[in-house]
Amino acid sequence: MYVQTQQGRIEIHEGMNQIWIEAWGPDAVRVRMTQEAEMDPREWALSEPVPSVETRIESKKIDVTDPWYHGPEWERYHVQGTVYRLVNGKIIAEVNEEGWITFYNQKGEVLLREYWRNRDRVNRYAVPIMIPARELKPVPGTSDYALTARFEADDREKIFGMGQYQMAQFDKKGTVLELEHRNAQASVPFYVSNLGYGFLWNNPAIGTVTFAANKTEWRIPSTKKMDYWIVAGDTPADIEYRYSAVTGRTPKMPDYGMGFWQCKLRYRTQEEVLEVAREHKRRGLPMDVIVVDFFHWKFQGEWDFDPDYFPDPEAMVKELKSMGIETVVSIWPNVDERSSNYHYMQEHGYLMRTDRGSAIGGTGWMGPNTCFDPTHPGARRFVFEQAKKHYMSKGIHIFWLDEAEPEIGPYELDNWRYYAGPSAQVTNLYPKEYARGFYEGLKESGRDDIMSLVRCAWAGSQKYGVLTWSGDIHSSWRGFREQIQAGLSMGMAGIPWWTCDLGGFIGGWPEDEGFRELLARWFAWGCFLPVFRLHGERSPWYEREIKLGQDGVQILSSGQPNEVWSYGDKVYDIMCRYLFLREKLKPYIKQITDQAAETGAPIIRPLFFDFPEDPKAWEDCKAHMFGPDLLVSPVTEPDVDHWNVYLPAGTDWIESATGRIYTGGQEVSAYAPLDTIPVFIRDGADVEVY
């Protein structure tokens, strides 16, 4: 093993292993490892141009007393020889004589250290269990490798981000996470540590990460290289700013994104869509967007309206626009073998393929189909051109990109193959490339107000105007509570535009008083999300039907009612209150969404984002900030009229419902009857609530 410096980077060589450590944007370092003859050039999430930065590489022969060396006490008395150091602003990457890597901040404090339990070759330090920090093991019979990367654990550490998982834990320390997308699960492998760094696992392969008490371990069964990026920052805001600069920032939110979105599973006909919009306007209620959900088409893969149920969609869109309402249509990636596009796409390599068995029937629902391959540039262009021909020509420019994981049943991910490579190595790119095709197509068509509702995301998806929602979640108090940490985790993972199905998707009986209470609480919280969208399948299922239409195509009936007037007068009055409050908040929402576009700051964010000096702010995820000035604490339990809320130290807080002023740094009992969500305004802020 030997260490050398060249081309502005530190390189570690041992046999076929080569590791590159180099500056990658201000205060940040990228680390890559391969056993191939050449380093894999793919940038994955690190897609943005990196500005040149002033760095220096130092090396020095050290002994046990040298204060220049930052190593731990146990190491100082054993490791000698030459130590290399790359200094880039606030981050220092240090490599000792053994090739062990440690990252420090500008104060010399350890941020992250590789986990080595080898006997060192220079001083024969006795740790004989022979566990290395990084391994690329060849997979027999292939040209691929199994990767493991290990880092030392720190008892003080808290970890936030990593995307969207349906779980109770906001702090991911102590959890095991799949690096894999599923319905309601989005793996976005970037996290922010309370120790003052951010970490991107820059690899779209399937695997797991374990943030254990004794070590952190990333495992990938099939890949070509190790690739990660680490940045030092004094605050979470600094870290998000640097991260979004190298992976891409979200665009500015279009005006239509800031209002109310009406949606349900599903409006079966053109007339049903128009009747709901007309009724909203007759009642004097605001609505910015209405959604035409799935199976408005004849065959999956047609990406067009079924004329039997939507005889004049152009007239429908025109009438909706006259009411100030934009139309969104659902796009699925599935392509039915009976559709007019299937054979062309199959012949041109635009569809996902399998290594074993038939691709037909392995994906999707209601018909023999497979999915298109968005990692193929030609496939991305083709699908968007169909949408342009059949939807944009009728005045529709907002798309709901559903099934974006993609949803494969069963999840035999080793069996699928893409243009970009084997599914096991690249499948987490799917939602990002799916959104990319529509973003680039809309841009080329002259649109700047781009927002696509997408059921998944990966690192960097935000740059393509992705509004991620949390998938088919359950209509329950537990489901509600889990969405708070899911939304905050997505924001900390760099995805600022996030929402969920208000009231949950699966279940929820409109006549049930318990569900009505849940929906009232959930809807109130929706007013303080980046996008305010009502959706759900709603029970009972037995009143719906699946039948055969023309050509033997399965047809769904209309969904159960899911309009604001569908849940009784009491809940209707509450929902109306928040519809109008959302309108009142639009100037503030524009400010905070513009901030997200300029700095990468999450729109909903944990208390510690704005109050990093308050230790208790790092403990709390019951409440969150909506931009810098509003603290929101959704009521997530039934039968409550007061709700305990922690107010961060450093400012006074005004309870919006009562006008009472509280000093920060304490927990208070907030006024919280059914029609009131606790909201506190930072003292001095120019925003009004209620």
Tens digits of per-residue pLDDT, 664-676?
Answer: 999 999 999 999 9
| Number of neighbouring beta carbons within 10 Å of residue 563 | 18
Q: Quick one: which of 643, 617, 626 has its CA closest to 581?
A: 626
β-strand partners of 112 = 103
Residue 428's pLDDT is: 98
Report d(CA 612, CA 271) in Å as an integer.
52
Residue 540's pLDDT is: 81
Residue of 472, 512, 619, 675 marked active site: 472
Report d(CA 602, CA 596) in Å as an integer.
6
The region of weakest confidence among 5-14, 123-132, 466-475, 545-554 is 545-554
Tell me, rounded to whole angstroms, the distance of Cα 226 from its chain centroid: 22
Q: Are 657 and 641 in contact (CB under 8 A)?
A: no
| pLDDT tens digits, 254-289 | 999 999 999 999 999 999 999 999 999 999 999 999
Report d(CA 159, CA 166) in Å as an integer.
16
Is 637 one of the annotated active-site residues of the chain? no
Is 120 one of the annotated active-site residues of the chain? no
Distant-in-sequence, close-in-space partners of 541: CB < 8 Å, separation ≥ 6: none
Is 144 one of the annotated active-site residues of the chain? no
Secondary structure (DSSP) of 376-389: SHHHHHHHHHHHHH
- Rounded to two decimals, what is the model's pTM? 0.96
State the distance between the two ends of the chain, measured CA to CA, in whole angstroms: 66
Across 224-325, the runs of DSSP E, i.e. the strands, are: 225-232, 260-262, 289-292
Report d(CA 218, CA 307) in Å as an integer.
50
Helix intervals (H) in 283-371: 313-322, 342-347
User: What superfamily does domain 606-682 belong to in CATH?
Assistant: Golgi alpha-mannosidase II (2.60.40.1180)
Tokens of 360: 């037909």
CATH topology match: 2-247 vs 606-682: yes
Domain 255-599, CATH: 3.20.20.80
Residue 185's pLDDT is: 97
| pLDDT tens digits, 181-225 | 999 999 999 999 999 999 999 999 999 999 999 999 999 999 999
Does the domain formed by 2-247 have CATH 2.60.40.1760? yes
For the residues 65-90, what does the mean pLDDT come to? 73
For the residues 391-413, what does the mean pLDDT come to? 91
Secondary structure (DSSP) of 483-536: HHHHHHHHHHTT---EE--BT-SB---TT-HHHHHHHHHHHHHHTTSSSEEE--
For the chain, what are the domain ranges?
A: 2-247, 255-599, 606-682
| pLDDT tens digits, 320-341 | 999 999 999 999 999 999 999 9
Alpha carbon distances (Å) from 307 to 337, 368, 390, 616: 20, 22, 12, 58
Distant-in-sequence, close-in-space partners of 134: CB < 8 Å, separation ≥ 6: 19, 33, 114, 147, 148, 149, 150, 226
| pLDDT tens digits, 623-666 | 999 999 999 999 999 999 999 999 999 999 999 999 999 999 99
Report d(CA 121, CA 260) in Å as an integer.
64
Residue of 22, 98, 120, 402 marked active site: 402
Report d(CA 668, CA 653) in Å as an integer.
11
Residue 80's pLDDT is: 63
Residue of 293, 403, 405, 563 marked active site: 405
* Selected residue with higher pLDDT from 110 and 97: 110
